[in-house]
């Protein structure tokens, strides 16, 4: 897949620009499709139901303007997050990179090992970088823009300042410089484990088969709690996939203060009467150009 892309591009510096355009546009399509479908399913006025709402971590819905700001910030973040992966593709086949296409002469077990190593290293790296954004003021100055979205929607996954997106995509360039890895597998791992799982984390809805109180895997509640409660010097639930890093570095929100949908249901806070009072904005206004140009509707 990526080898075919490289063969279609120039060898010179314009080849890098062509790769960046291809990576940015294909990532844009992936993002709009995956986040868009989940958003339509869970937030669109005609699709919001009481049966779904009882699983919503925050009983209220974000305003149309907040979702618009998520999309604008996401597109800005996307342009930066595509830069280092594009350099990584551009370097494939040069003495600097050990990235390759196909089997590359390696066994199946090496391919399995390399993808697990990529995933574990990246999950830890993303946790450490994210935590840094909450314990160091120069990093918080950039990261706080992600926390403007205290009640996020599926469009908030990469709604970050450019420097944060640049740093978060660094492993896609650094890993093939350090170890032999199939670049297609690396990109697919990042898309599934860090974007599509991120859509779930930012969906605002919990799922019945994975309790927020499970011991091992971060759920959408942990990330909603992160957006709602985590500030400078309060690094609650900075982890992405596994809970291990948050447990190791003491980044866990007090369990006795839990406000997940499961606990809210037990406290009687998800009744049909309360649902009838919830205001669901008409997100079809996102198709109105006045929303995007700051004019009153």
Binding-site ranges for Zn ion (CB under 5 A)? 258, 260, 263
Of residues 258 and 285, the one with the C-beta less far from Zn ion? 258
Strand partners, 231: 234
In whole angstroms, the minimum distance from the beta carbon of 212 to Zn ion comes to 5
Residue 6 or 212: the one with the smaller Cβ distance to Zn ion is 212
Cβ-based nearer residue to Zn ion, 90 or 146: 146
Closest distance between Zn ion and the C-beta of residue 238, in Å? 6
| Helical (H) or strand (E) element with 225 | helix 220-229
Long-range contacts, stretch 9-18, CB < 8 angstroms, 24+ apart: 15/90, 16/86, 16/87, 16/90
Residue with smaller CB distance to Zn ion, 174 or 258:
258
Q: Give the span between the Cα atoms of 23 and 26, in whole angstroms.
A: 5
Minimal distance in Å, beta carbon 141 to Zn ion? Answer: 13
Half-sphere exposure of residue 294, counting CA atoms within 13 Å on the CB side?
1
Residue pair 46/40 in contact by the 8 Å Cβ criterion: no
**Closest to 58 in 3D by CA, of 151, 148, 146:** 151
Minimum CB separation from Zn ion for residue 263, in Å?
A: 3
Half-sphere exposure of 76 (CA within 13 A, CB side): 15
The nearest distance, CB 189 to Zn ion, in angstroms, is 19
113 vs 216, which CB is nearer to Zn ion? 216
d(CA 285, CA 65): 9
């Amino acid at each position: 897949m990526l080898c075919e892309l490289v063969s279609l591009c120039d060898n010179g510096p314009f080849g890098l620009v062509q790769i960046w355009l291809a990576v940015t546009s294909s990532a844009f399509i992936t993002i709009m499709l995956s986040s868009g479908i989940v958003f339509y399913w869970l937030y669109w006025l005609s699709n919001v139901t009481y049966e779904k709402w009882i699983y919503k971590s925050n009983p209220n819905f974000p305003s149309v303007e907040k979702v618009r700001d998520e999309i604008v910030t996401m597109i800005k973040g996307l342009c930066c997050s595509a830069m280092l992966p594009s350099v990584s593709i551009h370097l494939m086949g040069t003495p600097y990179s050990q990235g390759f296409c196909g089997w590359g002469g390696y066994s199946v077990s090496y391919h399995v090992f390399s993808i697990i190593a990529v995933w574990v290293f990246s999950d830890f790296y993303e946790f450490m970088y994210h935590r840094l954004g909450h314990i160091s003021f120069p990093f918080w100055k950039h990261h706080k823009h992600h926390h403007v979205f205290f009640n996020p929607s599926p469009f908030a996954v990469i709604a970050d300042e450019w420097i944060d997106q640049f740093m978060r995509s660094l492993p896609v360039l650094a890993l093939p410089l350090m170890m032999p890895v199939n670049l297609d597998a690396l990109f697919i791992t990042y898309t599934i484990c860090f974007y599509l799982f991120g859509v779930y984390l930012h969906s605002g809805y919990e799922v019945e088969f994975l309790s927020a109180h499970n011991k091992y895997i971060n759920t959408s509640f942990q990330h909603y709690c992160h957006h709602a409660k985590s500030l400078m010097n309060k690094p609650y639930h900075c982890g992405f996939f596994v809970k291990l890093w948050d447990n190791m570095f003491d980044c866990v929100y007090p369990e006795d203060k839990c406000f997940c949908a499961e606990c809210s249901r037990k406290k009687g806070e998800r009744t049909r009467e309360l649902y009838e009072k919830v205001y669901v904005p008409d997100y079809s206004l996102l198709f109105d150009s006045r929303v995007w140009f700051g004019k009153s509707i």
